A and B are shown apart, each in its own frame.
Chain A
């Protein structure tokens, strides 16, 4: 049998590790730690109703504005749990649909409308109580619901169920569902799938017909005439709608434990979500965030950027801003500035961390998100909704 590890390769590897470690230490030494004056004081509370002027003043002082469009800040958080109408505290996803908000929980679909919650369960036609993903067709207004037991189309009160037994759906565990014109795409435990609502044709995309490592897929998004699939162990799979051709983006260094070169490609092959806006593809992993502009990749890790945690459950881009749902709070990023929303321990109060380059500022908030384990997010106009492992929260844009 051929010897896999030779002496020479071992030496080169050790040398590489030493060089990398040296570089890292150098970075740390050069990086100037924040002084106590530079850190915002803990009692430097600002009301969630503070004026735009004070925010701008604060922002300008800290240099976090970008061009003329400041990074949006949200506050006035209002939390909903089982106590005030949610069917369960564990909320997997949230989707704003005009005047109503749809929340996927572990015990059904909850709809918030006219200040009231209404729950839809299996008895109403839901495929499974565990609702993992929701999207609304811009064309028809139909709501597509991905559950742990199949896919629902919810149209004007009628639930239609698609599962792997009665349809061409790849698998009943639907992690993500999206609408792309007349097509619906799903990321499932048994491959990605497409459904043409005009022809009724289903497509299944797995390692059998696409450059995937295995059929497990977590996320899917559409943009720029392409479909992007977050494939477990397979990085990002790109499908060009016009040519019906696939290509993949995998981590070039192939490392599972560390990322040797942050900007060489997608940060890790185990991807958890994808989102596309403003010609930028954002990729979430449990090991950091990646950004792809069609030419270059850039990676973001928690130790050298404002990313609060590498463990990203879900992400969603809205214009230039990407929202990241992590295990340590909600994060937003516009390419320069990071804003993180966290909950203070054993308190109803929260805090906002604003990081621009090496500078981080903490602002106290009298209200906070429901929980720091954030699983879903959606924004529309001046409102943001997030789903967490202990309730959902609604925030308002601070002006």
Chain B
């Protein structure tokens, strides 16, 4: 009897499955169609739901801990190569004779750069997400000291006498001057916006520091990015060289003679409609040349070709003979070799007007580009051997170092860093996000407008049906997996929809991603992009007195006059934790004449301190302006009753907001949001 019952049960299950198959398939089809906004995405539950797991055993099984080599330095005798493994939080030591990794030193979170002193016995590593520098004794291969810096230490430079270390603080936009006798920071100098790259002049008296983001500019004007010049004798900023219409200046290098310094840069055309992608230029990429001296020129030249762009230039090194420069293009996986003699000749024969034209001239690169050398995925940092015969290339998303002969201008070897051998789906997605191969003529990658998977601080004129309307302030990609919808107008209900067909139609003007590629891209965006710790404003979760006062303002329910604030006009109604967005559409009275009527998606506020400018069209340069300038009618929360000190406190609190994971663990804040729901 029992046997029959089991058979009947199984038969019943089978019948139910057969009967439910069609409705289930229909439901699945509708679900997938809704999520992807297309009707032919394969019905494969695992392709979406498996790879977006952020935590747990499944997540650990499907993902891997990569090393991601980023920046490098070679020992003075050339025997060792030191590689910063950005994701692995390690400094890798490589024997350049055997091309083998001989040691791995644990360093701080998200290390950025490494520099070696002249004796080759000490290394300094900047830990970008720890706000400090590790001093490493290279004879012991041990960390011997930790030096506090400003926020987001990145590029490093040693003064000529090696008594001082200069650190580009990428998040606080300063340069820390470190006294290496006392191992303390003695001062901070204001740098450009988001400084990263450094180089000291051959004479040792000038330090050049690049920056990535534009200086704060009047609304609607092109970007303007600063290269900061520090006099290392006075330890003061000597000059601020401005690069018009350029940004993302990652690195800079002096020629050995010091007759010029060359920085990498991108020239965005963000204020003209994105239709220019098809017309040949939306994003162009190149170098900025600085002639030192009071009357030295600033020249911009492109490294692109007319029908093939070399996006996302990152690092630059110059051979000891001063004849060649190598530029890594992390968006197209190439190294460009530049003939500096040809550059010098071009500069000598050109008038200022001609040079101005060249800054947008796609054909001029044929005058000085000697060769393009292919590399592995996402080439970032470069390092030359002391005599300049070998070029080392950090292939970040390959976990590999390429060794290029500078004479032959070809790859002669590779160094396997022994990262995970398999390529996970998320890793594949990360490669896609960093690769410009999916854009018309390789003009840009997702990464170009989303450097570090964040945002580039620019406002873009997307070519909608009415060109010139609906300017869009680029939004971050960090930790956005759980907060749909996407785009300011909330039109995209999922990342699939955002990055699928619509993306290719509007942004890349090419074939859209294949389905498996889209799955991978979504997997990376959902699982792999974290917020940096908010060490500047909220290092340990304990709010300052001002932030505590600001928190009360944020959660207030009554005005200063005692009048109850309508629920819809309270800060935390639209911005509840843990992401500080309710993911709903709202009108906050900020639409301009050039906007179509629309409601706007309430943006998340975590790590908002690093997302200026603000509002959907980037009109507000600072958080203060949201309430002092763009909230006349109290539509963006009731705030006009606030005293100035209350507004300052509110801003301090907003700056303290950090990754959602901290708030998920904070019952007090959750209680506040629950209270709202009960209302």
Flag whether B456 is at the interface (Cβ < 8 A): no
State whether B644 touches A140 (Cβ < 8 A).
Answer: no
State whether A166 touches B621 (Cβ < 8 A).
Answer: yes
Distance between Cα atoms of A182 and B174 in the complex (Å): 12
Flag whether B275 is at the interface (Cβ < 8 A): no
**Total A-B pairs, Cβ < 8 A:** 77
Interface residues of B in 236-254 (CB under 8 A from A): 236-240
Provide the residues of chain A in CB contact with B190, threshold 8 Å.
Answer: 140, 142, 153, 155, 160, 197
Distance between Cα atoms of A128 and B610 in the complex (Å): 28
Known: A157-B240, A198-B150, A201-B546. A167 touches B624 (CB 8 A): yes
Flag whether A170 is at the interface (Cβ < 8 A): yes
Known: A158-B226, A165-B624, A167-B624. A197 touches B240 (CB 8 A): no
State whether A201 touches B652 (Cβ < 8 A).
Answer: yes
State whether A204 touches B645 (Cβ < 8 A).
Answer: yes
Provide the residues of chain A in CB contact with B189, threshold 8 Å.
Answer: 140
Q: Chain A, 202-221, contact with B by CB distance < 8 Å: what is the 0/1 string?
A: 11101011000000000000
Provide the residues of chain A in CB contact with B240, threshold 8 Å.
Answer: 155-158
The listed residue (B229, B236, B537, B546) touching A140 by CB distance below 8 A is B236
State whether A198 touches B172 (Cβ < 8 A).
Answer: yes
State whether B239 touches A156 (Cβ < 8 A).
Answer: yes
Provide the residues of chain B in CB contact with A156, threshold 8 Å.
Answer: 228-229, 236-240
Main secondary structure of the interface of A (DSSP, over half): loop
Q: Chain B, 115-157, contact with A by CB distance < 8 Å: what is the 0/1 string?
A: 0000000000000000000000000000000000010000000
Provide the residues of chain A in CB contact with B236, threshold 8 Å.
Answer: 140-141, 156
Flag whether A60 is at the interface (Cβ < 8 A): no
State whether B648 touches A208 (Cβ < 8 A).
Answer: no
* Number of residues from B at the complex interface, CB < 8 A: 35
Main secondary structure of the interface of B (DSSP, over half): mixed
State whether B628 touches A166 (Cβ < 8 A).
Answer: yes
State whether B237 touches A155 (Cβ < 8 A).
Answer: yes
Known: A206-B645, A209-B645. A199 touches B188 (CB 8 A): no
State whether B625 touches A166 (Cβ < 8 A).
Answer: yes
Q: Chain A, 120-156, contact with B by CB distance < 8 Å: what is the 0/1 string?
A: 0000000000000000000111100000000001011
State whether B536 touches A199 (Cβ < 8 A).
Answer: yes
State whether A141 touches B537 (Cβ < 8 A).
Answer: no
Provide the residues of chain B in CB contact with A171, threshold 8 Å.
Answer: 644
Distance between Cα atoms of A153 and B215 in the complex (Å): 14
The listed residue (A165, A198, A201) touching B628 by CB distance below 8 A is A165
- The chain B residues found within 8 Å of chain A, CB to CB, are 150, 172, 174, 187-190, 215, 226, 228-229, 234, 236-240, 536-537, 544, 546, 621-622, 624-625, 628-629, 643-645, 647-648, 651-652, 655
29 pairs across A/B with beta carbons < 8 Å?
A: A139-B187, A140-B188, A141-B236, A142-B237, A155-B190, A156-B228, A156-B229, A156-B236, A156-B237, A156-B239, A157-B240, A158-B226, A164-B628, A165-B624, A167-B622, A168-B644, A168-B647, A171-B644, A197-B188, A198-B150, A198-B172, A198-B188, A199-B536, A201-B544, A201-B652, A202-B648, A204-B644, A208-B643, A209-B645
**9 pairs of A and B residues whose beta carbons are closest in the complex:** A141-B236, A156-B237, A168-B648, A165-B628, A204-B645, A139-B187, A158-B240, A166-B622, A156-B240
Extra A-B contacts (17), CB below 8 Å, given A140-B187, A140-B189, A155-B190:
A142-B190, A142-B237, A153-B190, A155-B240, A156-B236, A157-B240, A160-B190, A166-B621, A166-B628, A167-B622, A167-B624, A168-B647, A197-B188, A197-B190, A198-B172, A199-B537, A201-B546
- The chain A residues found within 8 Å of chain B, CB to CB, are 139-142, 153, 155-158, 160, 164-168, 170-171, 182, 190, 197-204, 206, 208-209
